[in-house]
Amino acid sequence: MGIRFTSASSSRLGGRSTAGKGCLTVFFLVFLVMGAVFTLLILADAARVAEVWFWPEAECTVLSGSVEETGDDENPYTVAVVFEYQIDGRAYRGTNLTRSSSASSSYDTVRRAVDAYPPGTRTTCRVDPENPGEAVLECRLPWIALAGFLPLIFVAVGAGGIYGVWRSGGRAENGDVESISQRAKNGRGKKIELGIGLVFAAVGGGLTILLLVVPLVRLAQASTWVETPATVVGSVLRSWSTDDGTSYQADVLYEYSAGGRAWTSNRRDFFPFSSGDADGAEAVLARYPAGSMTVCFVDPADPTRSVLDRRLHAAYLIGLFPLIFLVVGAALATHALKRPSTTVPAAGSPTRPTDTPDAPGSLAPQVGPVGKLIGTILIAAFWNGIVSVFLWQIVLSFRRDDPEWFLCLFMTPFVLVGLGLVGGVVYYLLALANPRPQLTISPSSPRLGSRLRVEWAFTGKADRISRLEIVLEGHEKATYRRGTDTQTDREAFASFVVTDSPASWGVARGAGEVEIPADTMHSFASDHNAVVWAIHVHGDIPRWPDVNETFEIEVRPPAPERVPA
């Protein structure tokens, strides 16, 4: 027998207990609350920065400016500026460059801000109308608001998960239960998929630009910079605590001469972040000890720009990680845009005019191989993206010879689930090479008490299938309340074998007939009950993913009896 992944089976598969729904709700609620809190904090900070644009202007004079150390290893340098201004005849002194912090880990960034306001410069400042003693020299755009897209992923996952857990089915305009395929036909599923895809693509694209494109472009630019002698004036190991442990950074301060004056910088390379690798940072400090002579590379067009190391090293490869979100988001958005509109029959519906139900019709599967692959990739990327953050901390702890065993044990089941999801991606990727069934039924919408003819033909190498099973199945879905609980059950009430053929009989194409008993139930949907008929195709492929496709059909009530004239 081949590998066989099965979805919901015939007996009581669709229901979720209240406990199960409660656990899933709590799980997704964590994502929703975390994402919402971080989004609100980011937006509040952005609003505080943007508020300065509405403050009135005042003339001011810069008295002094310099680069000073903050004593904070994470952002060790800051702008120390003093300026004087008058409001209503009273003199005030301000010391803030912007309303947000001007501290930075980049000496170059702080030095440029100081150089923009030499002592004696007359300029304008913005004054808080409710507190004239507070003023700033610069108004900046609230770029931090863009960071709000990242926690929006958690909001989308949490809200969508809770919605999916508690919504057993949509409601059509006439009050009937609306199936998933109907919602997709009406465009709601398409819009949700497109929205999630665009959020993932936006976050992935932004991080890819920040972590990969910008550093590589700067590396390419630095290849033409001029080699210049430099002196290391400071070599310090910076460290600070984060949610993931301790971050380390080798802060190498060096001086060089260019453009007729001396400059100071601490730009070592173009990688924008620190790491948790203390040994790596120590190795950098050993390479650049304080007081040593070295060389840096200076931009001939702008002597303020320099770098110590312009080699491409492994840290830059971290920029490839956001590509997962970009690719998944683009795939989701593309798949949503290619989904049928309201003028195209929904997946699982016979491709026939609605006024000819007795004519033959072709069927389309509910979810094709590409859809299954994209869905699995999305889940695997999201899950493993989160797990990888903690896994990296475990790797660093072993490199420091201080293993975090509790974190190892705690993360083991999460890693195993992630590996299983990766296995699912591989499974569905291999399944793309499977032969695909094409079904034609006659009539396209059979009645109870009539015979249904099913014709099939496989595209691709059907001789790989060792056994073919095609079954017509009817099942009932019931939604009901038990006390304060709402439950949904699914149970098969009819199953008819169209064919069960070994390979020796030939499975590439064929036909079979079944009779649908008149005493069974026709297709219908209401507020609390639904009857669904579907044809299940299973092709057994030894040592390979099996063929598993489901095609929904509509079964009509029996033909009305003719009354004799």
The answer to whether residues 362 and 438 touch, using CB atoms and an 8 Å cutoff, is yes
pLDDT bin (cut points 50, 70, 90) of residue 86 is very high
On the question of pLDDT at 297 being above 50, the answer is yes
Compare 565 and 388 and report the one with higher pLDDT.
388
Give the separation between CA 258 and CA 227, rounded to whole angstroms: 11
Structural domain contains residue 134:
no
Residues contacting residue 188 through CB under 8 Å, at least 6 positions apart? 170
Residue 536 CA: distances (Å) to CA of 3, 133, 364, 439, 497: 17, 76, 12, 11, 10
The answer to whether residue 325 scores a pLDDT higher than 70 is yes
Residue 183 has pLDDT above 60, yes or no: no
Q: Which residue has the higher pLDDT, 301 or 399?
A: 301
C-alpha 200/C-alpha 325 separation (Å) is 5
- Residue 239 forms part of a structural domain: yes
What pLDDT does 338 receive? 67
User: The dihedral of CA 96, 99, 105, 109: what is its sign?
Assistant: negative
- Arithmetic mean of pLDDT, 43-56: 90
- Indicate the DSSP class of residue 561: P
pLDDT average, residue stretch 5-15: 37
Q: At residue 57, does pLDDT exceed 90?
A: yes
For residue 13, the model assigns a pLDDT of: 35
pTM: 0.54
**pLDDT band at residue 308 using 50, 70 and 90 as cut-offs:** very high
- The two three-digit tokens of residue 125, written as one number: 């400042």
| Whether pLDDT at 59 is above 90 | yes
297 part of a folded domain: yes
For the stretch 138-149, pLDDT in tens is 988 888 887 777
Residue 249 lies in a domain: yes
The two tokens of residue 75 are: 């952002």
- For 483-494, the pLDDT digits (tens) are 555 666 778 888
Average pLDDT of the chain?
A: 81
Q: How far apart are CA 79 and CA 98, in angstroms?
A: 10
Query: What sign does the CA torsion over 145, 146, 147, 150 have?
Result: positive
Q: Is residue 172 part of a domain?
A: no
Q: Does residue 270 form part of some domain?
A: yes
- pLDDT attached to residue 243: 62
pLDDT at 121: 93
The reported pLDDT for the residue numbered 481 is: 65
Q: Does residue 9 register a pLDDT over 60?
A: no
Our separate counts of H helices and E strands in the chain read 10, 21
pLDDT band at 112 (very low <50, low <70, confident <90, very high): very high
Query: Side by side, which strands form the sheet with 131-136?
Result: 90-94, 77-87, 57-69, 122-128, 131-136
Supply the pLDDT for residue 291.
Answer: 93
Q: What is the Cα–Cα distance from 207 to 199, expressed in whole angstroms? A: 12
Q: Using CA atoms, how far apart are residues 167 and 488, in angstroms rounded to an integer?
A: 10
Between CA 458 and CA 479 the distance in angstroms is 37
Structure tokens at 251: 């802060």
User: In which band, very low, low, confident or very high, does the pLDDT at 195 lie, cut at 50, 70 and 90?
Assistant: confident
3-state secondary structure of 79: strand
Give the bridge partners for 512, in sequence order: 454
pLDDT value at position 168? 46
Residue range 219-265, pLDDT digits in tens: 889 989 999 999 999 999 998 887 666 788 899 999 999 988 999 99
* Portion of the chain with pLDDT greater than 90, in percent: 28
Please indicate whether residue 405 or residue 556 has the higher confidence score (pLDDT).
556
Is 102 within a domain?
no
Long-range contacts of 107-113 (CB under 8 A, 24+ apart): 107/67, 107/77, 107/253, 107/264, 107/265, 107/266, 107/267, 108/265, 108/266, 108/267, 108/304, 108/305, 109/77, 110/67, 110/77, 110/78, 110/79, 111/67, 111/264, 111/265, 111/304, 112/304, 113/79
Mean pLDDT (whole number) for 61-71: 93
| Rounded-to-integer distance, Cα 296 and Cα 255, Å | 9
Question: What are the residues facing 251 on neighbouring strands?
Answer: 236
Q: Which range has highest mean pLDDT (236-245, 298-307, 429-438)?
A: 298-307
CA distance 453 to 438: 14
Range of the domain at 235: 224-309
pLDDT surpasses 50 at 175: no
Q: Has residue 161 been placed in a domain?
A: no
Q: Is the pLDDT of residue 296 over 50?
A: yes
CA distance 368 to 551: 10
CATH number at residue 235: 2.40.50
Residue 10 scores a pLDDT above 70 = no
Q: Check the CA dihedral 412-414-416-419 and report its sign.
A: negative
Number of domains in the chain: 1
In contact, 68 and 77? CB cutoff 8 Å: yes
pLDDT at 357 over 70: yes
* Residue 208 predicted with pLDDT over 80: yes
* pLDDT bracket for residue 116 (50, 70, 90): very high
